[in-house]
Amino acid sequence: MQLTHSTLVGLVCVACTAGETQEKPRDGLRAELVGCYALYTPGGKLLDSTFYNASPLVRLDSSPLGITARDTVPGIFRRMVRLDRSGHPVDRMDSTSFSFRSWYADSLSDSIRASFSDGFSGAEVILAAPGRVDTLWGRIVENWDMGPTTNDRGRVYAVRVRCSGTA
């Protein structure tokens, strides 16, 4: 069997790509996580103002807010709406208000991070998100613009709840 130049080049190209794997998007939208959640301490108490900028309820939205810059793999921050105990938005939702409140998924660790930052300081909830489950477990930390820069506030969990029509 005689191989032509073009056949040989084609075989070499197939051999070069045969070992490659498709990379899972690190910060892709996890549609099963979009929705509303109540955030609790391990004792069953809703988060309150003692956790800096946090709210007891949140809505994880699919709307992108921007690109992350935490490493060499760019990702997407998505909109998170802080809700009060009644399910109403805490913050103004108009085009003039700028919000650092966001969430993103990290497929490398099967987790999500929800940030309650004001641009300088705030709480961050890190939750394990192994798949389609209604309760997510994790921890909450507070990040400060001046020392100490990080304060571990302990374990938390999030329970999926029905979103109200006004949120």
Whether residue 43 lies inside any domain: the answer is yes
Whether residue 39 lies inside any domain: the answer is yes
Which tens digits make up the pLDDT trace of 106-157? 777 788 888 888 778 888 999 998 877 889 999 999 888 777 777 788 899 9
Distance of CA 132 to CAs 19, 60, 77, 142, Å?
31, 14, 20, 27
Q: Please count the structural domains in the chain.
A: 1
Q: What is the pLDDT of residue 71?
A: 56
Greater confidence, 52 or 4?
52
The tokens for 127 are: 């939750």
Greater confidence, 51 or 65?
51
Give me the percent of the chain exceeding a pLDDT of 70: 71
Domain of 67, in residue numbers: 26-161
Provide the CB-side half-sphere exposure for 163 (13 A, CA).
Answer: 15
Whether residue 95 lies inside any domain: the answer is yes
Whether residue 129 lies inside any domain: the answer is yes
Whether residue 98 lies inside any domain: the answer is yes
What sign does the dihedral 6-7-9-14 (CA atoms) show? positive
Whether residue 1 lies inside any domain: the answer is no
Whether residue 130 lies inside any domain: the answer is yes
The tokens for 126 are: 């890190």
Residue 154 pairs in a beta bridge with 140
Whether residue 147 lies inside any domain: the answer is yes
Taking Cα atoms as reference points, which of 149, 125, 145 lies closest to residue 38? 125
pLDDT category at 44 given cuts 50, 70, 90 is very high
Q: What is the pLDDT of residue 40?
A: 96
Taking Cα atoms as reference points, which of 158, 21, 29 lies closest to residue 106? 29
